[in-house]
Each structure stands twice: as C-alpha cells, then as structure tokens.
Chains A and B, each alone.
Chain A
Amino acid sequence: MKTYQKLIVSLFLSSALAGCSMFGGGEETAGEGMNGGASTNGVDDGSNYSGHPLDNPSSPLSTKVIYFAFDSSAVEPQYEAVLAAHGAYLAANTDVSVFVEGHADERGTREYNVALSEKRAKTVQNLLSLQGASGNQTEAVAMGEEKPVAVGHDESAWHLNRRVELIYPAH
C-alpha cells in the first residue's frame, strides 16, 4: 500500500516536472501537483493489516521473488531485508516450510543452467538459515531455464527469469 502511494507521488512528481519543462520552466506551474502528492504522505502505513503476514503488502515478506545478475548467484543488496524477514519468519514458525526455487534465463546450456539455478537457490537457502530457519524447513529446487515467467529473447525478459521464488506450499 505504502509503495503504491509512493509510486503515485512519484508519478505526480514526474508529470509535474514534465509539465515544467514543457511550459518553458522556472514558473511554479507544478506547485499544485506537488502539494497534492505531499498531502497523501503518511496515510495507512499498513499497521492495521489483518491478512496473512506473508501477504502483508507493507512487509518485506510479501516479496517472494528476487532477481539476479547474469551468470551470478550473488544476492543483490536490495533483497537482503526481504530474505532476512523470510528467515526470521521461518525461525518463528518452525512448522512452516518453503521451496526455494531457482531459475535461470535461457542463455547458455540447459543442464548448466539447472546447476546455476541451484547455486542461486542455495545462496538464498543459506541466507534464510543465517536468520534461524532450520535446514528441514527449506528445500532448494533447481529449475534451470525450463520455466520462464517472461517470454522473449532479450534482457527485458531475461532479467525477470533470473530469479529465486520462495514458494510456501501450505500458504
């Protein structure tokens, strides 16, 4: 929810800025838009969320897919909080288990990509266990390039396919 509103704010901002340049700049034509954006700040921070914690849109737990650089199994810094939250969640809920499913983009050979996707899954698995998730709560699955989410043969599809998905089967 919060992210959604931030997005709206930034949309307002960008359209306002676009307006600026379009109308010759310098004048306060954008003021109204900026005020409108600012007025929505701070509303509903998600604290009254009543659904399942894994679905709470204002919690990092709601993020269940993380993405990787080409031919890399290193977790990017922006996903560290996400994996820390999932690890802590598993540590606090020892009856919950998760499939850590690694994927690769289509470039390169298929079985090598299976192994590469397993490396990604195992990196994530290790980060979850660092937060206290036990080994029998997580299972790494290596899907290689066999299940792309995006079709297409360029980076716009490839970056979506180089991923690890956290799949809670009971959820």
Chain B
Amino acid sequence: MQRVIKSALILSIMFSFSAFSAALKIEITQGISSAQPITVVPFSSVQIVGGLPVDIAQVVSDDLARSGRFKSLSRLDMLSKPSTAEQVNFRNWQALGQDNLVIGKIVPDANGMLLVQFQLFDVYKGEQLTGFSIPASRSGLRGVAHRISDLIYEKLTGQKGAFSTRMAYITSMREANGKTEYKIQVADADGYGAKTIVTSSEPLMSPSWSPRGDKLSYVSYEGRRSSIYTQTLRTGQREKLRSFKGINGAPSWSPDGSQLALTLSKDGSADIYIYNVITRSFRRLTRSYAIDTEPDWSPDGRQIIFTSDRGGKPQIYKISANGGQAGRVTFEGSYNARASYSPDGKNITMVHRVNGQYRIATLDLKTGFTNILTDGRLDESPSYAPNGSMILYSTNDGLKSILAAVSSDGKVRQKLRLQGGEVREPAWSPYKAR
C-alpha cells in the first residue's frame, strides 16, 4: 500500500490531541503535482488574553492540503507573517511560487465573544478574492476554521467545500478477556473530536446518515439477533425498528428523509424492503430467490441500486423505488457490491474485485466506464463526500483495518490512522443543516 510516490507532493501531517484522547495521523500517500500552492499565515491573536485552544490557520492549511487540490506552504518557509492587508508584500509571495495567500486575526468582540477575520488574496493580481468576519465562541473555533476552509475551497475551485461535515464509523477492539467491544463513533471529517454514540459486546454495523445529518441508523446484534436502530445524535436517544426473523440489515435513508430502504429475509431470501418512517409500515421492493441487499437511493429518490447474486455472482442492479423490473448496472468483473450514488447521481462507487483483490471503483453511469481508484487487497465500504470530491473507505494496513480516502478521480489518496482497534465502515455525513 505504501506505494511509490509519483509526484512531488508528499505530505505528512501530524495532529496531536489533548493528553487523553486518541492520536490521529493523516498521511497523504499519493498526491498530484498540479495542486495549487497556497499559504495560510498563522492568524494573529495578540489581542486575546490567555491564547486560543485552536490554531485556526493550521486547521485550514491541513484541510486544504487533505483535499489534494492544494499544496500548503510550511510555516518554516514563510518569510513574513502578515495579519493585515497593509503588511502583505505580494512580490515576496510571488517569489515563493504561491498562487494564493490567506491571512487573518482573532479579536475580542463587544459581547465577550470572539471575531475571526480572514482575507484570501490572489498573489499575482495582488487583490483580495474574499474576506469574512465570523463570530465564534472559544469552543466553536474549530468549526469556524472548517467554515473558512469551505469558503476558500469554494472560491478557488468553484465547488462547495465539505470540511464542515462529519463521519461515522465502526470500531472493534479485542480485549484481554477475548471479548470484542464494538463502537460507533462520530467525528469531524478530519477525524477530530471523535465521540462514541453506542457501545456493544455484539457486532454493530452499517451506519447510515439521515439526509439532515441529525440521525444515524445502524444494525446491532445485541441479544444475538440483528435489529435496525435509529439514533438521534444530539440526544443519544434511539428507536428500534420493528424487527423480523432473519436478517434486519443495510439501512439506507431516502433523500427526503421519509423512508428507509433496508434488507429483510423474513419471506425467505434476503430482499430489499422500504420502511415508511411516518406510517411505520414495510413494503417489499424486490422478489428474488437470490440475495438482494445493500440498497442505496439515487439523489432524486426515484431509483434504488442494490447488490444481487441473481445472475450467479454479486453484481449491482437498479430498480424503481416504486418497484417493478430490476435491471443490471455492472458488467465488468465477477464481483461488484455495496454501491452508492455520487451526490450528482452521475456515478456510483462500489467494491470491485480484480485478480482476487477487493478495490474501490467508480462506474460512470453514462459511459459505462469503470475506474479502479485504490490498490488494496481488502478495500471496502466506499462513501462519497457530500460534494463528491472524495471517497472515504476502509483498507487493511498491515493486520489492521483503517480508514482511508481517495479523490473521486483516484489521483489523491490518504490514510487516516485513528489509534487503537480496527476502524471500518466509514459513512460521510451530508452537509450540516443550517
């Protein structure tokens, strides 16, 4: 997996948490030389008594570098550290080969709160591209930093940023007594601030975000049998869906939040059902003697793609959310499974087997072109960022399962190492409801 780096960009960014939380290391294992050079100068906080808990410029710089679209200048290479427009000498930054420059400061505001101000400059034109003043509390500074990253990313790429989003994932840790502890955690998209939302001695799997990002549905085997739960993240309260004999699995929220597609085997083999959240009723969608599972909704809510072995081997099929005849979607390779739509609905990502290796691939639904993005042996659980730029997945690193991300064109790849245990089944949240 530690593959030879093709191009100039190798970034190893070390983050350290406070003493008691887990360490996280993000390592960009493959980059592109066309990344735009950008400098994010440390924000001035001279007016803040006692300093600040978050280095905002560092968070922004790391966010932009992680996207693979930008190459952040190291602080060691900065010749000056301006915090106002008057202090900026554009020729110095031009000499350093920088395209863009970000400066900023944090000042106290009238209500005992903080005000974070930043400006983004085009170094060659010597002009400001954008600038904002954002009010913040001390505990909200990290969120403000991600918002700044979003604003810069959107200004420079034309695409909405996804730095203010979160991810959910499963961890499992084998303990000294031989038992395994399973958890679902939710963290910021950069891995910070991980919080455990449920812990169990039996397996937990298949986290799925509600479209507003306020709830998470998942499968739990507590009490030996599988059941689907929906948990409200803010309160921690959860509701168990009515469960049936056999499989209760693979929940997937409809884009409008009114339904869940899921897998039940109560009527024989595994089939896709639609659960209506309001009426709490179930409707059977597929009727085959084969395995039908892993449903995912198209962004317009009209189609559902799923995995089926009705043709002998697992392949991706598509069916109208109202039912009817299913049509086959994947034809390349003898194993395609767990597909999900890109946010624009033009592509799907899935697990694709090639030469006995399980890899993350995308399929362009219009051209039928399959693009293999990763090079692991056991890569699985691909999940698109809400802006479609990146795909989170899990991969094996030595003996352990870890999270990784790849740009949706396969050009930029990175590993996210969270300390302790196995980490798998990442699910990228939708944009936060504002």
Q: Which residues of A contact B (CB under 8 A)?
A: 99, 106-112, 114-116, 118-119, 139-144, 146-147, 151-153
Docked CA distance A111–B225 (Å): 15
- Chain B residues lying within 8 Å of A108, measured Cβ to Cβ, are 314, 335, 337, 351, 353, 358, 380
In the complex, how many angstroms separate the beta carbon of A155 from the nearest chain B beta carbon?
11
- Chain A residues lying within 8 Å of B217, measured Cβ to Cβ, are none
Partner of B293 from A111, A140, A141 at Cβ < 8 Å:
A111
B283-317: contact bitstring with A at CB < 8 Å (1 yes, 0 no)?
Answer: 00000000101100000000000010100001000
Q: Is the CB of B358 within 8 A of A99?
A: no
Q: Is the CB of B294 within 8 A of A111?
A: yes
B263-299: contact bitstring with A at CB < 8 Å (1 yes, 0 no)?
Answer: 1010001100000000000000000000101100000
**Do A111 and B358 contact each other (CB < 8 Å), given the known contacts A106-B378, A116-B291, A153-B399?**
no
16 contacts between A and B (CB under 8 A): A106-B378, A108-B337, A108-B380, A109-B337, A109-B338, A109-B351, A112-B307, A115-B269, A115-B291, A118-B247, A118-B270, A119-B269, A139-B245, A143-B203, A143-B221, A153-B377
Q: Is the CB of A146 within 8 A of B294?
A: no
Chain B, range 172-227, C-beta contacts under 8 Å to A: 174, 180, 203, 205-206, 221, 224-226
User: Is the C-beta of B249 less than 8 angstroms from some C-beta in chain A?
Assistant: yes
- Chain B residues lying within 8 Å of A152, measured Cβ to Cβ, are 399
Docked CA distance A41–B434 (Å): 79
Docked CA distance A112–B203 (Å): 15
Q: Is the CB of A119 within 8 A of B351?
A: no
Docked CA distance A146–B172 (Å): 10
Partner of B249 from A111, A139, A141, A153 at Cβ < 8 Å:
A111
Q: Is the CB of A112 within 8 A of B224?
A: no
In the complex, how many angstroms separate the beta carbon of B334 from the nearest chain A beta carbon?
10
- Chain A residues lying within 8 Å of B291, measured Cβ to Cβ, are 112, 115-116, 119
- Chain B residues lying within 8 Å of A118, measured Cβ to Cβ, are 246-247, 265, 270
**Do A115 and B378 contact each other (CB < 8 Å), given the known contacts A109-B307, A152-B399?**
no
Partner of A146 from B174, B203, B247, B399 at Cβ < 8 Å:
B203
In the complex, how many angstroms separate the beta carbon of A118 from the nearest chain B beta carbon?
6
- Chain B residues lying within 8 Å of A115, measured Cβ to Cβ, are 247, 263, 265, 269-270, 291, 293
- Chain B residues lying within 8 Å of A107, measured Cβ to Cβ, are 358, 378
User: Is the C-beta of B396 less than 8 angstroms from some C-beta in chain A?
Assistant: yes
- Chain B residues lying within 8 Å of A146, measured Cβ to Cβ, are 203, 205, 221
- Chain B residues lying within 8 Å of A119, measured Cβ to Cβ, are 269, 291
Chain B, range 317-338, C-beta contacts under 8 Å to A: 335, 337-338
- Chain B residues lying within 8 Å of A99, measured Cβ to Cβ, are 224
Instruction: Identify which of A99, A139, A146 gathers the most chain B CB atoms within 10 Å of its CB.
Output: A146
Smallest CB gap from B262: residue in A: A111
Q: Is the CB of A110 within 8 A of B205?
A: yes
Partner of A109 from B180, B224, B270, B381 at Cβ < 8 Å:
B381
Q: Which residues of B contact A (CB under 8 A)?
A: 174, 180, 203, 205-206, 221, 224-226, 245-247, 249-250, 263, 265, 269-270, 291, 293-294, 307, 309, 314, 335, 337-338, 351, 353, 358, 377-378, 380-381, 396, 399, 425
Smallest CB gap from B174: residue in A: A151
Docked CA distance A152–B399 (Å): 7
- Chain B residues lying within 8 Å of A112, measured Cβ to Cβ, are 291, 293-294, 307, 309, 314, 337-338
- Chain A residues lying within 8 Å of B381, measured Cβ to Cβ, are 109-110
Q: Is the CB of A114 within 8 A of B249?
A: yes
In the complex, how many angstroms separate the beta carbon of B80 from the nearest chain A beta carbon?
51
- Chain A residues lying within 8 Å of B249, measured Cβ to Cβ, are 111, 114
- Chain A residues lying within 8 Å of B205, measured Cβ to Cβ, are 110-111, 144, 146
Q: Is the CB of A111 within 8 A of B351?
A: no
Smallest CB gap from A139: residue in B: B245
Docked CA distance A151–B174 (Å): 11
Instruction: Identify which of B246, B307, B351 gathers the most chain A CB atoms within 10 Å of its CB.
Output: B246
- Chain B residues lying within 8 Å of A144, measured Cβ to Cβ, are 203, 205
**Do A142 and B337 contact each other (CB < 8 Å), given the known contacts A106-B378, A147-B203?**
no
- Additional A-B contacts beyond A108-B337, A115-B265, A153-B396 (14; CB < 8 A): A107-B378, A108-B358, A109-B307, A109-B351, A109-B380, A110-B338, A111-B250, A112-B338, A114-B247, A114-B293, A115-B247, A115-B291, A144-B205, A146-B221
Docked CA distance A37–B381 (Å): 54
In the complex, how many angstroms separate the beta carbon of A73 from the nearest chain B beta carbon?
10
- Chain B residues lying within 8 Å of A140, measured Cβ to Cβ, are 246
Partner of A153 from B221, B246, B269, B378 at Cβ < 8 Å:
B378
In the complex, how many angstroms separate the beta carbon of B195 from the nearest chain A beta carbon?
23
**Do A141 and B225 contact each other (CB < 8 Å), given the known contacts A108-B335, A112-B293, A112-B307?**
yes
Docked CA distance A108–B307 (Å): 12
Q: Is the CB of A142 within 8 A of B247?
A: yes
- Chain B residues lying within 8 Å of A111, measured Cβ to Cβ, are 205-206, 249-250, 263, 293-294, 307, 338
In the complex, how many angstroms separate the beta carbon of B179 from the nearest chain A beta carbon?
11
In the complex, how many angstroms separate the beta carbon of B169 from the nearest chain A beta carbon?
13
In the complex, how many angstroms separate the beta carbon of B420 from the nearest chain A beta carbon?
16
Docked CA distance A153–B294 (Å): 24
Smallest CB gap from B350: residue in A: A109
In the complex, how many angstroms separate the beta carbon of B206 from the nearest chain A beta carbon?
6
Q: Is the CB of A142 within 8 A of B246?
A: yes
Docked CA distance A139–B24 (Å): 42
Partner of B224 from A110, A114, A141, A151 at Cβ < 8 Å:
A141
Docked CA distance A97–B310 (Å): 32
Docked CA distance A109–B381 (Å): 7
